[in-house]
Structure 1
Amino acid sequence: MTNQFNFLMLPPQTAITRGWADRLAHSVPGMNLIVAEDGAQAASAIETADAAFGTLPPDLLTKAKRLRWLQAPMAAPPAGYYYPALIEHPAVITNFREIYNDHISAHILAFVLALARGLHVFIPQQIRREWRKPPEDHGVVPLPGAVALIVGVGGIGAETARLLAAFGVRVLATDARRTDTPEGVAELHRPEALDSLLPQADFVILTVPHTPATEGFFHRDRFARMKKTAFFINIGRGMTTRLDDLVAALQSGTIAGAALDVYEQEPLPQAHPLWGLPNVILTPHMAGYGPHLNERRFQIIQDNCRAFADGRPLRNVVDKKNWF
């Protein structure tokens, strides 16, 4: 049986969200769709909304007497999206996780291959028009037999493990939720095993979201546990890694290098020392870029609207206390 419900699209609106609204209005039986263009419209509509999409600030939450489901607008919304009153509210929250698995895992693999083959050395040499070969046995990490430690094997981490295993890399992994071992993972551990696993890895790859448990959890002591020949990769969230500690580890030779797509502060300031380090590859928080993302986002919203109308379980339910 399909239930009637009010679904509120919270502001701000874009051409994309308006397009989603038009498609939803014609594809979800039983749904009364309200598209709020500004805060005043949202404040009026939230009082009778059973479900909503977007960012719900505290002043609107106090008026949300009927709200039972909130679709977050990102896979891992920025700090502040989950505040105490929202966490305690009975509404279920869902997010957009799983839509980036192929794009981000390819970006991670590009980082691994670039670091393993010394491209962080050769590309600057190319810019300088400098022909300089290293010794034949220097500057290459042979992937067959190398060890990668993936911190967080959700959809992105699991796909990364599968790709790395195809290159002969032995993959170790930690995860707070997962109990099944994904394809390509040789060993799956609880997060508490992280410190004991770090000394084994040639590549340490962070895919975890920013949560209360992961904020700043990669710091000086953890870099000190890594091999001097190891590389650090972060494509999860910038707030998981203390950049000052990473810079110190890179400058002192504590680790061999790093590749980052996310940073504690974004954009990364022009004066930040990471820009000038020769053993670093930086990309501007775009590892998830690729085709079909907006269609994938829409599909999750549509699937969840239909499930909500039918009283079925929703996709991508968030553990609100842990923000993910």
Structure 2
Amino acid sequence: MNNKLSFLFLPPQDDVIRVWHQRLVAFPGPFKFHMAENDADALELIEHADAAYGEVTPELLSRASKLRWLQAPYAAPPEGFFPDFLQKHSMVLTNFRGIYSDHIAVHVMAYILGFARGLHYYLPRQFKHEWNPEPLDTGVVALTGKTVLIVGMGGIGSELARLCATFGLRVFGVDARRTDPVPHVERIAPAGNLDQSLPDADFVVVTVPLTPATRMMFTRPRFRAMKPSAFFINVGRGGTTSIADLIEALNAGEVAGAALDVFEDEPLRPEHPIWRTPNLFITPHMASYGPDLDERRFAIIRDNCDRFASGRPLHNVVDKVQGF
């Protein structure tokens, strides 16, 4: 009699997932690992699955009588990943959060340092072959004592706070759930206090996932609430920010500059007016790039397999209603 637990990789498959499958099969343990090559395979195999990796449809879930754990293939699942049928299911859902924290935090520091040294002025002038320094003692920001407001104090926010402290920056946080002390963060306010926190910030950094509560979190009134000398940075999800409102705020001088790695619609069209907006850094949704990401994902799956089999709490459990 086969008493092994069943773990199913749902389609679509790629070479990375195939390697994960081979490595997991080679481990002795209580799981038997399966690959669903297509939708028909998935419908058949999910009937016996105790755990799965990927996205499930209502039809798949209706057949998943044994499913108790689903590993989402994202760190912060996109909006709509948690429909009602998934929210109501008793399964535990986990994600890959935390694997990008160091890379994204460094990316944000690159933005902050770029603004601090006036690179938002000088890079465009470089491309036009212009030797045109700003007047003496202007066009730069002395970071010591300046304030960074991090909206979303998860793994990225915590690592960013550590980096900020090394440059003498003060750090405040805003978070929907977190209330425990975080090293290098002076205070964490609830999400409802965002408007009261914005006027204190010299840099506003958005790291939150896209949920109904965060969609269009930043529009013109919130840009106007910031200091005219402050900089806005978004490395979370594009749908948290109105790009049209940000363009207007930048052109009106209501904020000093902005750095964006994420956008409402991607890829960003060549004719989009954001490209012609001053005092702006744009990167193409690559703040998370760095070595060993696939290995970090695999480590989470491997560790949670051990935890699931032994009845221990899983890492990276997601609140299916809130979406993170």
- Give the TM-score taking structure 2 as reference length: 0.97
Following superposition of structure 1 onto structure 2, how do residues 91-170 of structure 1 map, counting pairs within 5 Å? 91-170=91-170
Three-state SS of the structure 2 residue aligned to 1:8 is strand
Q: Residue deviations 1:134-189, cap 9 Å, x none?
A: 11122111100111100011111011011111101111111122222211111211
Q: Percent identity?
A: 54
Query: Does the aligned pair in 1 maintain the 2:51–2:69 contact within 8 Å?
Result: yes
Moved more, 246-255 or 230-239: 246-255
Three-state SS of the structure 1 residue aligned to 2:149 is strand
Query: Does the aligned pair in 2 maintain the 1:93–1:317 contact within 8 Å?
Result: yes
Q: Residue deviations 1:107-148, cap 9 Å, x none?
A: 000000001111011111111111001111221111001111
Query: Does the aligned pair in 2 maintain the 1:76–1:209 contact within 8 Å?
Result: yes
Which position in structure 2 is the counterpart of 1:322? 322
Find the aligned partners of 1:281 and 1:129 in 2 and give their Cα distance: 19
Which position in structure 1 is the counterpart of 2:47? 47
Find the aligned partners of 2:138 and 2:93 in 1 and give their Cα distance: 50
Which position in structure 2 is the counterpart of 1:219? 219
Q: Does 1:80 align with 2:80?
A: yes
Query: Does the aligned pair in 2 maintain the 1:7–1:50 contact within 8 Å?
Result: yes
Find the aligned partners of 1:28 and 1:217 in 2 and give their Cα distance: 47
Unaligned runs of 5+ in 2: none
Find the aligned partners of 1:40 and 1:275 in 2 and give their Cα distance: 45
Find the aligned partners of 1:79 and 1:112 in 2 and give their Cα distance: 28
CA drift of 1:28 comes to: 5.1
Which position in structure 2 is the counterpart of 1:35? 35
Find the aligned partners of 2:170 and 2:208 in 1 and give their Cα distance: 20
Q: Does 1:308 align with 2:308?
A: yes
Query: Does the aligned pair in 2 maintain the 1:234–1:259 contact within 8 Å?
Result: yes
Which position in structure 1 is the counterpart of 2:243? 243
Which position in structure 2 is the counterpart of 1:176? 176
For 2:191, the aligned partner's letter is P
Q: Residue deviations 1:34-91, cap 9 Å, x none?
A: 1011111001111111110011122212211111100000101222221110011111
- Give the TM-score taking structure 1 as reference length: 0.97
Query: Does the aligned pair in 2 maintain the 1:55–1:73 contact within 8 Å?
Result: yes
Which stretches of structure 1, 4 residues or longer, exceed 2 Å deviation after superposition?
A: none
Which position in structure 2 is the counterpart of 1:294? 294
Moved more, 125-134 or 293-302: 125-134
After superposition, the CA RMSD in angstroms is 1.1
Unaligned runs of 5+ in 1: none
Moved more, 52-61 or 281-290: 52-61
Three-state SS of the structure 2 residue aligned to 1:189 is strand
Q: Residue deviations 1:186-210, cap 9 Å, x none?
A: 1211111110110111100001111
For 2:24, the aligned partner's letter is L
For 2:4, the aligned partner's letter is Q
Query: Does the aligned pair in 2 maintain the 1:28–1:302 contact within 8 Å?
Result: no
